Amino acid sequence: MKKLINAPDDVVTDALAGLAAAHPSLRLDAENKVVIRGDAPRPNKVGLVSGGGSGHEPLHGGFVGYGMLDAACAGEVFTSPVPDQMLAATQAVNGGAGVLHIVKNYTGDILNFQLAAELADDEGIEVVSVVVNDDVAVQDSLYTAGRRGVGATVFVEKIAGALAEEGASLADVAAVAREVNERSRSFGVALTSCTLPAVGKPSFELAESEIELGIGIHGEPGRERTTITTAHNLAGTVMDAIADDMPLSGDVLVMVNGMGGTPLMELYVMFAEVQRYIEGHGARVARNLVGNYITSLDMQGFSVTVTQLTDTLTRLWDAPVDTPGLRWGR
């Protein structure tokens, strides 16, 4: 295994220290592995907390800042954070208007965020949780009852964060977060496996020309293994899976996301194909993101997330944001 780390046990701590050092507007609770906005808690602003296993950077710590998350808790690589971390994050961002937990649908994350919400409630902090479950690939999965939460998490964090920044109530911020999730679908493809620092060898094996359709962000099995084909055909397969589940129409927000080891050049090739598919099916790509936003360590591959926009969602998407991973308009 060749990785830019000091030791497998230190990688999360060291990476968080680097993130905080590179972005002085963030504050790090190193003991609890929580990344916090420097100006948190903001009085009367709903606090947004997310988190999950590490190895998906920039998600979630890279999305802490103005217009997005107030705090993110980092678990070990591909491992849920514990309730104490989530509680510490919740306390740190509670400005009196309540706290929204944005939870990807993995069993450990669900259970631990639920416990953290109960502990926060005991302290008089109102918490509402929203579960993200946008992955159409499989119904249940290795670590998940129901659909997995993947790329839509980025959109939920951005759009709910923008509404919270405007001073909306906890109920309204939670409602828009749920709306984004309900209007979003994702599907991922792996070209290669990924290697966890603590394991030192690939999590699974793919043959020379083999790819996995419907891969999870932890390498959970997808729908099937098949042979690599053209970007055009891959876009067709991915978009058929998404459009079968949510017919395409109107304006959509699209992310072509890299899994961590795929060059940006290839993601742009995929974006051109995805856009062509969508516009050939009667919808319009009104907004987009192309790059590494929710990754799986060094995995090569990509995922596509499509969200049906409304005027309000578009306005909130366009609102200023200032985080390490997304930054514009401010």
Pull the structure tokens for residue 218.
């932890």
Phi/psi of residue 17, nearest 5 degrees? -60, -40
Closest approach of its own copies to the CB of residue 188, in Å = 12
- Closer by beta carbon to its own copies, 32 or else 192: 192
Closest approach of its own copies to the CB of residue 290, in Å = 5
Binding mask 137-166 for its own copies (x = CB under 8 A): ------------------------------
| C-alpha span between 235 and 233 (Å, rounded) | 5
- Closer by beta carbon to its own copies, 6 or else 139: 6
Q: Is 21 in the site for its own copies (CB under 8 A)?
A: yes
Active site residue 281: no
Q: Hey, which bits of the chain come out as E strands?
A: 26-29, 34-37, 47-54, 71-77, 99-104, 127-132, 184-190, 210-213, 224-227, 250-258, 283-291, 301-308, 321-322, 327-328
Among residues 23, 60, 101, 218, the one annotated as catalytic is 218
DSSP annotation string for 1-47? ---S-S-GGGHHHHHHHHHHHH-TTEEEETTTTEEEETTPSPTTSPE
The span from the first CA to the last CA of the chain, in angstroms, equals 41
Residue 41 CB neighbour total at 10 angstroms:
19
Phi/psi of residue 255, nearest 5 degrees? -115, 130
Per-state percent for the chain, helix, strand, coil, to nearest 5: 35, 25, 40
Q: Is 330 in the site for its own copies (CB under 8 A)?
A: yes
- Closer by beta carbon to its own copies, 139 or else 230: 230
Q: Is 191 in the site for its own copies (CB under 8 A)?
A: yes
Closest approach of its own copies to the CB of residue 317, in Å = 15
Closest approach of its own copies to the CB of residue 9, in Å = 13
Active site residue 60: no
Q: Is 82 in the site for its own copies (CB under 8 A)?
A: no
Residues at the site binding its own copies, with contacts judged by CB under 8 A: 2-7, 11, 14-19, 21-22, 54-55, 57-58, 62, 191-192, 208-209, 211, 228, 230-232, 234, 260-273, 275, 285, 288, 290, 292, 295, 297-298, 300, 302, 322, 324, 327-330
